[in-house]
Amino acid sequence: MNKLKTIIMSAVLSAVSASSVIADDFKYNNERFADLQMLRYKVPGFDQLSLRQKTLVYYLSEAALCGRDILFDQNGAYNLRIRKMLETVYTDYQGDRSSADFKAMETYLKQVWFSNGIHHHYGYHKFTPHFTQEFFRRALRGVDATKLPLQKGQSVDDLCNEVFPVIFNPEIMAMRVNQKDGEDLVRTSAANYYGAGVTQAEAEAFYEAQKDTLAPEPVMYGLNSRLVKKNGKLQEDKWVLNGLYGQAIKKIVFWLEKAEKLAENPSQRAVIKELVKFYTTGDLKTFDHYSILWLKDTDSMVDFVNGFIESYGDPLGLKASWEAFANFKDLDATKRTEKLSSNAQWFEDNSPVDPRFKKDKCTGISAKVITAAILGGDLYPSTAIGINLPNSNWIRKQHGSKSVTIGNLTDAYNKAAHGNGFNEEFVIDEATRKLIDDYGDVCDDLHTDLHECLGHGSGRLLEGVGDDALKAHGSAIEEARADLFALYYLADPKLVELGLTPNMEAYKSNYYHYMMNGLLTQMVRIQPGKDIEEAHMRNRQLIARWAYEHGKEHNVVELVKRNNKTYVKVNDYAALRGLFGDLLKEIQRIKSEGDYEGARQLIETYAVKVDPKLHQEVLSRYDALDLAPYKGFINPVYVPEFDSEGNITDVKIDYTESYADQMLRYSTKYGYLPYINE
Ligand code: ZN
């Protein structure tokens, strides 16, 4: 719920901070296919770590790769089989590899790798294959059948007959996460979190019965299991060492236990031990203990995330997808976020929010800037640039949260976007472009910091309001809350006083960019005729549209036409800040009171529909730029060196592995799960 996929997007879409880009011969941009651009990221500072720290990062990075198949299976019951079928044809096909069919299959496979399944990672819709069924069937018949994911007694044709409708029929498993009000969200979502025959009403009733919102420390029910029906009765298949996904979890635990021996201090050792215990037992109380230990460990240089964390992939917002990454502190940049977190109470006290919904005491908000060393699971290849965890509300309230921004990834986005023509096309004039060139970088980073360190951590729920009161709209509202907190404070003189922004002009770069993105440019991610589904995108359009509509009377923000092109024109930045403050106040009220109806109305009025004419215009202008709307990262490869006794003597980084080689290697090396997981 608290991941910054949002802001990533602004970084992805913009060519901010061109002037601050320093020449650098590292190749950030890599290959491009479909709507995707692959990038590489540098891991600066790795060579300066001690051998022990490097080895620790290496062990944690192995643990971060071992759960890849879990996510594929969570995203859809056929994904592992489809991936294997595609990969086998990709590597073994003897026919014409330059044919249109083969090329189209290659693109499709690259999309499947990227999305960890057959549905778009961001829009959730199923990919349309542009190769024929006949081609694929012939190709599968032509490869060594022992390499195919055949069930006992199954022929290649049987396999095709079973799986092809899932690939080729657009009606079947059309959406990974369906969020349309009024439909059975469980049965109409392809995600593999609920077994055959389980309905939304049954799933909701099952967890409602377990839930005690008045309990002081409620666990996050349903987080780590698939809910299935066996003999007509509902039961949870837990994702644990001796349960579902156990084959992969065993490997994760193996590497975690090696990491534990190299832990930097007793607190970190306890964190890893508790996580292993959670993977072993599946006990959600243990998970909460682990989360508390994890958020309190702020001293360690090396850190990690590894587990079932975010619930965007479940239409009911209960079940968490597997994700992981390993990282270490960026000491210089962390000074910036420490300034924010040490003033957390000031920000809480001075926000426009109703005092009833404020925290009396902001506890334990820690913030640091980190360098990502490896990305795994739901953070790979598409990733977050900031993370604020844990997600449990009672823990956040009583113990705070740990907030990080990932400096080297932001940097890679910015450098890769340099000079791509985007701002020249969509920003209204030279003066505004200069504003963005001068301040975009620093303000984007600050927006991320404010969103993560303070935004998500601010405010409180009224007594008796459950974490999931806003249901399907909870994620979008929560992201809006954090974004509004960031937007509101970016324009505050306090930031100049703290030395975080250079002057009272700088914030305008972020305001302009946010409005442009929310009103216009994020639409490039939506297919013609489609609504906005993804929570972060809904959040951004909600904020931008709401501010635009509510500022109309005083002409705060306009959409103007020049040479038949639409531009955002901000006439009054101070008034825009006022509007952000007003909406923050209302969104916090909705969150604190658990006002589902209020949330639904805001979302449906402002966040879902796009103007088809404007959409078409933006798409064609964007197409002309020939840029990919989505980006993701190829991981570096960590290569340990050993002495004759098998001790690690150094760990080297290699940045040369290609996207396809990496994906194929991961499928082979970390392909721990059976093709069907039941
Ligand atoms: Zn967030």
Centroid of ligand 1 to alpha carbon of 365 (angstroms)? 15
For residue range 226-255, list pLDDT tens digits in order.
Answer: 999 999 999 999 999 999 999 999 999 999
| Other Cβ atoms within 10 Å of 138 Cβ, number | 15
- Examine the pLDDT at 275 and tell me if it is beyond 80: yes
H-type alpha helices, 143-194: 156-168
C-alpha of residue 483 to centroid of ligand 1, in Å: 7
Q: Residue written as tokens 């039941």?
A: 678
pLDDT of residue 447 exceeding 90, the answer is yes
Residue 22 CA, ligand 1 centroid: distance in Å: 29
Q: What pLDDT is stored for residue 22 in this prediction?
A: 43
More confident residue, 298 or 510: 510
Of 338-347, 361-370, 429-438, 444-453, minimum mean pLDDT range: 361-370
Q: Measured in angstroms, how far is the CA atom of residue 610 from the centroid of ligand 1? A: 23
Q: How far is the CA of 477 from the centre of ligand 1 (A)?
A: 10
CA of 537 to the centre of ligand 1 (A): 12
Mean pLDDT of the chain: 93
On the 0-12 / 13-18 / 19+ scale of CB atoms within 10 A, 504 is middle
Each residue's pLDDT tens digit, 55-73: 999 999 999 999 999 999 9
pLDDT interval class at 414 (50, 70, 90) = confident
Separation of CA 509 and ligand 1 centre (Å): 20
Residue 439 has pLDDT above 60, yes or no: yes
674 C-alpha vs ligand 1 centroid, how far in Å? 34
Q: Which two three-digit tokens encode residue 159?
A: 């396999």
State the distance from the centre of ligand 1 to the C-alpha of 452, rounded, in angstroms: 6
Q: Which of 76-90, 101-115, 263-277, 443-457 has the least mean pLDDT?
A: 443-457
Residue 607 Cα, ligand 1 centroid: separation in angstroms? 17
Contacts of 620 (CB under 8 A, 6+ apart): none
Residues 473-489 have pLDDT tens digits of 999 999 999 999 999 99
**Å from CA of 543 to ligand 1 middle:** 14
| 158 C-alpha to ligand 1 centroid (Å) | 45
Ligand 1 geometric centre to CA of 108 (Å): 30
DSSP conformation letters of 280-344? HH--HHHHHHHHHHHHH--S-SEEEEEEEEE-TTSTTS-S-EEEEEEEEE-HHHHHHHHHHHHTH
Tell me how far the alpha carbon of residue 385 lies from the centroid of ligand 1, in angstroms. 10
Q: Is residue 384 within 8 Å of residue 122, measured between CB atoms? A: no
Residue 379 CA to ligand 1 centre (angstroms): 14
DSSP 432-498: HHHHHHHHHHHHHHHHHHIIIIIITTS--PPTT--TTTTGGGHHHHHHHHHHHHHHHHHT-HHHHHT
Rounded distance between C-alpha atoms, residue 362 and residue 345, angstroms? 6
Question: Could you tell me the distance, in angstroms and rounded to a whole number, from the CA of residue 305 to the centre of ligand 1?
Answer: 16
Tokens of 633: 């990262």
CA of 476 to the centre of ligand 1 (A): 9
Give the Å distance between the CA of 10 and the centre of ligand 1.
13
The confidence score (pLDDT) of residue 417 equals 82
CA 519 to ligand 1 center in whole angstroms:
19
Starting at the edge strand found earlier in the chain, the sheet holding 630-634 runs 29-33, 36-40, 630-634
d(CA 16, CA 438): 9
Neighbours of ion ligand 1 (CB under 5 A): 2, 4, 479, 482
Q: Region 332-353: what's the mean pLDDT? A: 90
The proportion of the chain whose per-residue pLDDT surpasses 70, expressed as a percent, equals 96
The label of the residue with tokens 């021996």 reads 261
pTM of the predicted model, to two decimals?
0.79
Distance in Å, CA 40 to ligand 1 centroid:
24
- How many A from CA of 455 to the centre of ligand 1? 8
Is 4 a residue whose pLDDT tops 70?
Answer: no
Per cent of the chain over pLDDT 90 is 85
* Reported confidence tier of residue 363, pLDDT bands at 50, 70, 90: low
Answer yes or no: is pLDDT of 308 > 90.
yes
pLDDT of residue 545: 98
Is it the case that residue 3 has pLDDT exceeding 50? no
Residue 387 Cα to ligand 1 midpoint, Å, equals 7
Determine the pLDDT at residue 24: 59
User: How many angstroms separate the CA atoms of 145 and 156, rounded?
Assistant: 7
CA of 197 to the centre of ligand 1 (A): 33
**Centre of ligand 1 from the C-alpha of residue 445, in Å:** 14
| DSSP label of 265 | S
Between the CA of 74 and the centroid of ligand 1 the distance, in Å, is 22
Ligand 1 geometric centre to CA of 355 (Å): 22
User: What separation in Å is there between the alpha carbon of 671 and the centre of ligand 1?
Assistant: 31
How far is the centre of ligand 1, averaged over its atoms, from the C-alpha of 262 (Å)?
32
Q: Which two tokens stand for residue 621?
A: 């202008």
How many angstroms separate the alpha carbon of residue 326 from the centre of ligand 1? Answer: 20
Taking the centre of ligand 1 as the mean of its atom positions, its distance from the CA of residue 454, in whole angstroms, is 10
CA 482 – ligand 1 centroid, Å: 6
Contacts of 530 (CB under 8 A, 6+ apart): 123, 125
- What does residue 146 show for φ and ψ, rounded to 5 degrees? -70, -15
Q: 12-41: per-residue pLDDT in tens?
A: 333 333 333 444 589 999 999 999 999 999
Q: What is the pLDDT of residues 182-221, one digit of tens each?
A: 999 999 999 999 999 999 999 999 999 998 767 889 999 9
Spacing, Cα 331 to ligand 1 middle (Å): 23
Give Rg (Cα) of the chain.
24
Residue type, 141: R
**Cα–ligand 1 centroid distance for 162 (angstroms):** 39
- pLDDT tier at 365 (50, 70, 90 boundaries)? low
Alpha carbon of 542 to ligand 1 centroid (Å): 15
Strands (E), 470-596: 557-562, 565-570
Q: How far is the CA of 480 from the centre of ligand 1 (A)?
A: 8
How far, in Å, is the centroid of ligand 1 from the Cα of 589? Answer: 18
In the reported structure, the alpha carbon of residue 6 is separated from the centroid of ligand 1 by a whole-number distance in angstroms of 7
Cα of 1 from ligand 1 centre, angstroms: 7
CB–CB of 273/289 below 8 Å?
no
Length of the chain: 678
Report whether 380 contacts 113 (CB < 8 A): no
- CA-closest candidate to residue 308, choices 433, 222, 437: 222
* pLDDT at residue 97 is higher than 90: yes
Question: Nearest-5° angle of CA 636, CA 641, CA 647?
Answer: 130
User: What is the Cα–Cα distance from 630 to 626, expressed in whole angstroms?
Assistant: 12
> In angstroms, what is the span from residue 474 Cα to ligand 1's centroid?
12
Distance 388 CA to ligand 1 centre (A): 7
Contact in structure between 2 and 388 (CB atoms under 8 Å): yes
* Distance from the Cα of residue 448 to its chain's centroid: 14
CB 507 within 8 A of CB 540: no
